[in-house]
Amino acid sequence: MADLSTDFVGIKSPNPFWLASAPPTDKEYNVRRAFEAGWGGVVWKTLGLDPHVVNVNGPRYGVIHGADRRVLGLNNIELITDRPLETNLREIKTIKRDFPDRAMIVSLMVPCEEWAWKEILPKVEETGADAIELNFGCPHGMSERGMGSAVGQVPDYIEMVTRWCKQNTRMPVLVKLTPNITDIRYPARAAHRGGADAVSLINTISSITSVNLDTFSPEPSIDGKGSHGGYCGPAVKPIALNMVAEIARDPETRGLPISGIGGITTWRDAAEFMALGSGSVQVCTAAMTYGFGIIKELTAGLSRWMDEQGHERLSDVVGRAVPNVTDWQYLNLNYVTKAQIDQDLCIKCGRCYAACEDTSHQAIAIKEGRVFEVIDAECVACNLCVDVCPVEDCITMRVLEPGELDERTGRKVAAEYANWTTHPNNPSSQAAE
């Protein structure tokens, strides 16, 4: 069996699956149930010094559903914990005592002043927690008070606060980054300069999920008014993967440990985050949708896949995909594929034809008996037909071999330049220089 245990910047846990800082980690009852179910760690819901944090008493979540009512995304307007700081600290200490083998990270958000961090850090240390996570990502409520993403959007502030924390605590410092920024590399570099042990990302995306067309109020609606909130869930996964990859391949942050967050719902999602450089992964929406029991599917699926692939430990997987992430200009323009339709699997729905005929390259013909065939001379291999086909593997992309004729261009594939690294159209090649 593959070894799923992790040692992430000195934080040990039996598996890489942590619950992210959110409602599921707000109190002892929830966290105890999570650990009993098998979760490897938690990031305790964000603590602060303000005793007057008050959350709304109406709807806190908006939702985007798929056609089958599956939750694709959640928007939340909940603030940091509104429970007393001392109560949270006492419960953290109790949980860490009862589950010493699990990762216990405490999320923190206090005013951007050194005295505030000096005040709260010793209190957290006393609980025996393994690390802290600086919440520089929350896009609603707290950002209006000069915290959360208001800090995370200013690299100088990130570096400054991170340095304060490193100077005033023995615990590893994780910096949680906001996606509400143009280039994620700049805040990651700032965290690195400040001495961060790791970064975690992404936090939620500032959003309004919907508008009630009867009341003309954004949802969730509080007494006829709505506010932007933080968007999470499966819909944000592509954004999160890209930002994780950008940090993993940036020369200035290469080697900086990453805790990946953003729409992780299955073991496959987790494996993709780890392949792009995440040493641990954090889950929220999936647990809120399906309950803590999903941890069994996550660990079993990841372990089975690793066994099938011959990976003995997580370090065999972490970062494996990073060298294959490149800029568009370095993609091999000699690589040619063509769509092909398996007539035995085709259900003759015509979705591929409609999509290609109306919105793409008119590369699919409809013949007598509703038989759909690819016109190689028109196919640019855009993959749209594969994406819209409702039958898995009915339409696939066939790779043309070197020397094979591309009917669309009339040229033989890679006949002159078999190796893209020496192609004159490749900006990085010596020939281009």
- Residues 6 or more apart in contact with residue 420 via CB below 8 angstroms: 332, 333, 334, 335, 426, 429
End-to-end CA distance of the chain: 50
For residue 24, the SS3 value is helix
List the one residue out of 212, 256, 263 whose CA is nearest residue 241.
Answer: 263
CB-neighbour burial class of residue 300 (10 A; exposed 0-12, middle 13-18, buried 19+): exposed
Q: Is 138 a catalytic residue?
A: yes
Cα separation of 420 and 426, whole Å? 7
List the one residue out of 130, 122, 20 whose CA is nearest residue 76.
Answer: 20
Alpha helices in 110-236 (DSSP H): 114-125, 149-152, 155-168, 185-193
Q: If you ran DSSP here, which 8-state letter would residue 178 be given?
A: P
Cis peptide bond N-terminal to 24, omega within 30: no
Active-site annotation holder among 138, 165, 352, 379: 138
- Which residue numbers are catalytic? 138
